Chain A
Amino acid sequence: MSLASSWRTRKFRLGFVGEICPQCHAKLFPPRDICPHCGGPAKEPLAFSGHGTVYSYTTMSVAPRGFEGQTPYVAALVKTEEGPLVTAQLTDVASDEVFIGMPVEMVTRHINEEGDDGIINYHFKFRPELAAAAKH
């Protein structure tokens, strides 16, 4: 991730902030210039709840550059509470524990870094829902 990209996307990467279309009220993630539903300009930020379920997933054993040290890890499509489908890593879970429909929640984690002297990139990921734990 370039410095410019890292800076430009900081709110959506760190805070899981999408948009709500001011014309048709569709909830959008990631944020974009034009609403894909009505074609109008989409500029209104919306902090997503961070809750969703696993729609589909795969275990990455051969990782792209920058992620080699993390294998095996799970990449998933997460159906957010607000509707949009989001691609993200799952964390704090072994690949054989994941199932389609698993309730998950967003956490902000380290995702990679630009070498030993470069920027550290943080990004949203999802982990199994802790809600039950709150009732302890």
Chain B
Amino acid sequence: MSVMRPLRSVGLVGYGAYIPRYRLPASEISRIWGGDEEGTVAFKSVPGLDEDTVTIAIEAARNAVARARIDPVLLRAVWIGSESHPYAVKPSSTVVAEALGVGNACLAADLQFACKAGTEALQAGIALVGSGMAGYAMAIGADTAQGRPGDALEYTAAAGGAAYIVGPAEAGCATLEGSYSYVSDTPDFWRRPGQNYPRHGGRFTGEPGYFAHVLSSVRSLMEGLGRSASDYRYAVFHQPNPRFPERAARQLGFKSEQYSPGLLANEIGNAYAGSSLLGMSAVLDIAQPGDRILLVSFGSGAGSDAFSWLVTDTLPKRQSLAPTTRAYIERKTIIDYATYLRLRGQLVMH
């Protein structure tokens, strides 16, 4: 199948990140549960008592609007990908749109595809703007991910999000060269209705899940565009831990200086639908005109979206219009396991 390209050229006209300030060290989880923290992340971000996917999305979206320098009324879609929407039924996206001051003539929906839901929203935004149906569309990936206490996922399940405004290529900080999506029915991770925690399919997580989908989407995209790893200044991967993206990047021919700037997992954990999009925002904070960026998501269930972006002369003028991803990473308060339980609402108050 060929690379996907919209009829009308599109670009990212604004982007914004948000990461909560609290950090739980892996050593705190192994202290309580006696597990092995080797090979996992050093810290994961934890939402405050008053934070959820909606509040994370609002701040990331405000930063994106600040960089885009557009009236939010011009947004014709607000789409949020997450596996932790606060309501089972009632959209997060309408709350976020209202907070931004978006008008009523707007599409709004919540998407669910594990960690790929944010880039799925981005694909939809590209299609909406690229078809000429809308001038601007906002795509957000945000999560307050949960892991069962003591489970391997508890070390990494984190919180954060990033927002992107898709608009005409001529106004973009980065223009889209093409994208490729690759999905299959793979039982690597799931959560049934009414369940507090997800389950994972053990051996399906690595080879049949992450690697099969990520490698397939990237290889198809690069082949379709006639590109090789050396054409890219940066490569950003979904990062459930630091090991998976490093291994995938090396298999695809990328070097450390290409994938390290967008690899945040060791400092903040896995922000699920926000994970690869936060890596992308960290790279956009430092990229220069002419840089080419590969963005690759992965979502369990399973699928991967790969995008090729080319940075324009507009980006340097937008980078300082909102807090950088690094600024949020460095704004941190280390917490212990008891505080973590309180912030995650695990203490019964009545």
> B-contacting residues of A (Cβ < 8 Å)?
10-11, 14-15, 17, 47, 68-70, 89, 91-92, 107-111, 120, 122, 125, 130, 133-136
Instruction: Identify which of A10, A68, A136 contacts B324 (C-beta below 8 A).
Output: A136
Most chain A CB neighbours (cut-off 10 Å) among B52, B99, B101: B99
* A15 with B49: CB separation less than 8 A: no
**Complex: how many Å from CA A11 to CA B95?**
10
- 1/0 per residue B316-342: CB within 8 Å of A? 000011111011101100000000000
Task: List chain A residues, Cβ under 8 A from B58.
Answer: 14, 107-108
Q: How far is the CB of B317 from chain A (nearest CB, A)?
A: 14
Contact of A15 with B101 in the complex, beta carbons under 8 Å = yes
With a CB–CB cut-off of 8 A, which chain A residues contact B51? 109-110
Contacts of A125 in B (CB 8 A): 50
Is A14 a contact partner of B50 (Cβ separation < 8 A)?
A: no
User: Of B54, B324, B350, which is within 8 A of A133 by CB?
Assistant: B324
Query: Contacts A92-B21, A108-B58, A109-B55 given: A134-B99 contact, CB under 8 Å?
Result: no
CA distance A68 to B86 in the complex (A): 20
Closest beta carbon of chain B to A14's beta carbon, Å: 4
Closest A residue, CB atoms, query B285: A136
Q: How far is the CA of A70 from the CA of B342 in the complex (A)?
A: 10
Minimum CB–CB distance from A82 to chain B (whole Å) comes to: 16
Contacting pair B50 A109 (CB below 8 A): yes
Given contacts A108-B58, A133-B323, A133-B328, contact A11 B50 (CB under 8 A): no
Q: Looking at chain B, what size class is its interface with the partner chain?
A: 20 to 34
- The CA of A5 and the CA of B121, in the complex, are separated in Å by 32
| B74 → chain A closest CB, angstroms | 15
Query: Once the chains bind, are B349 and A11 in contact (CB under 8 Å)?
Result: no
- Chain B 43-71: CB-based contact to A (< 8 A → 1; otherwise 0): 00000111110110011000000000000
A122 and B54 within 8 A (CB): yes
Question: What string of 1s and 0s marks CB contacts (under 8 Å) between B32-44 and chain A?
Answer: 0000000000000
How many angstroms from the CA of A91 to the CA of B47 in the assembled complex? Answer: 12
User: Contact at A120–B86, with CB atoms within 8 Å?
Assistant: yes
Is B55 a contact partner of A107 (Cβ separation < 8 A)?
yes
Residues from chain A with a CB closer than 8 A to the CB of B21 are: 92
- Closest residue of A by beta carbon distance from B59: A107
A residues near B322, Cβ cutoff 8 Å: 134
Which residues on the A side are within 8 Å of B86 (C-beta)? 110, 120
Q: Which of B75-96 contact A (CB under 8 A)?
A: 86-87, 95
| Distance, CA A136 to CA B325, complexed state (A) | 9
A110 to B50, CA, bound (A): 5
B124 within 8 A of partner (CB): no
Contacting residue for B98 out of A14, A91, A107, A130, CB 8 A: A14
Contact status A69-B349, CB under 8 Å: yes
> How many Å lie between the Cα of A69 and that of B51 in the bound state?
14
Q: With A and B bound together, what is the CA distance between A108 and B49 in angstroms?
A: 13
State whether A68 touches B330 (Cβ < 8 A): no
From A68, A110, A122, B99 is in contact (CB under 8 Å) with A122
Closest to B57 in A: A108
Q: How far is the CB of A26 from chain B (nearest CB, A)?
A: 22
Q: A residues within 8 A CB of B326?
A: 136
Shortest CB–CB separation between residue B287 and chain A, in angstroms? 15
Give the one of B51, B98, B330, B349 with max A CB within 10 A: B98
- Closest-by-CB residue of B relative to A112 is B50
Docked pose: A133 CA to B322 CA in angstroms: 9
B99 touches A14 (CB 8 A): yes
Q: Considering the chains assembled together, what is the distance between the CA atoms of A5 and B59 in angstroms?
A: 24
How far apart are the CA atoms of A62 and B327 in the complex, in Å?
A: 34
B100 close to A (CB within 8 Å): yes
Closest to B319 in A: A134
Bound complex: CA A107 to CA B51 (Å): 10
| 24 cross-chain CB contacts under 8 A | A11-B101, A14-B95, A15-B98, A15-B100, A69-B347, A109-B48, A110-B51, A110-B52, A110-B54, A110-B55, A110-B86, A120-B54, A122-B54, A122-B95, A122-B99, A130-B327, A130-B331, A133-B323, A133-B327, A133-B330, A134-B321, A135-B320, A136-B327, A136-B330
Nearest residue, chain B, Cβ from A10: B98
Task: Name the interface residues of B181-206: CB closer than 8 Å to any CB of A.
Answer: none
Question: How many whole Å from A34's CB to the nearest CB in chain B?
Answer: 24
Whether the pair B49, A70 counts as a contact (CB closer than 8 A) is yes
